[in-house]
Amino acid sequence: MVGTAPFRRYSAGLTPQEHLLSMSTISPATPTTLPLRIVRPGLVGYANALASQRAAADALRAGTGPETLYLLLHPPVVTLGRRAKTDTNLVVPRDELTARGVEVVDSDRGGDVTYHGPGQVVGYPILDLRRRRWGPRDHLHAMEGLLIDVLREGYGIDAFREPEHTGVWTAQGKIAAMGIRVSAGISLHGFALNVATDLAGFGLIVPCGIQGRAVATMEGVLGRTVPVDEVMDRIESAFRGAEETR
């Protein structure tokens, strides 16, 4: 099944010393018997989606709720990660973005500046990394692998990792961005996969703070229409398959 391998335990290129350090702040694994919950609410504003993530994370941490994967779309929004360099990576000033109808939000995720908009599948996996004995880099590596499998096996897109940059890449450019936060062993935020995104939105920023690199979409790579719901179906199947093989 697509995506079963990537959610097994990964070292994500860490040395043994780095892996031990990444594990040093993770409490012992806790059992989770509830199945993964998939929520697909459609078009959701960024603030509402973040509130849902936090509520799901609190319930999971308390042992009163399941792990959850949100698959959704955002209206046009620029999000600023904890390391965002707004002086260089916001091409258009904040007030002008707002005037254009593009929301600008400070986010508690890692990473720099990212654009979300219609035609982009956004995934927020709220997972207990403690029971997997994963650090943040393991989680990022697993999401990369899962999306690479979906793109390669489901669509024949030659997707790959780049050693210097997080995310998923193609010869035409970066096709999926990632940024996460881990709080008390629970992951928030996640990935954004460009299916049919209007690339003009990325011209408002320096995507992920990486100068001189193109951004790609699935439709641009394939030269045909790709239904967003179909892509969500494949991602959902990949996550469920990965959990079944754990």
Q: Kindly list the catalytic residues.
A: 208
The token pair at 126 is 């709220």
Q: How far apart are the first and last CA of the chain?
A: 13
Contact 131, 32 (CB under 8 A): yes
The token pair at 240 is 């469920």
Separation of alpha carbons 218 and 193, rounded Å: 8
**Cα separations (Å) of 35 from 38, 66, 73, 84, 128?**
9, 7, 24, 35, 12
Separation of alpha carbons 86 and 102, rounded Å: 15
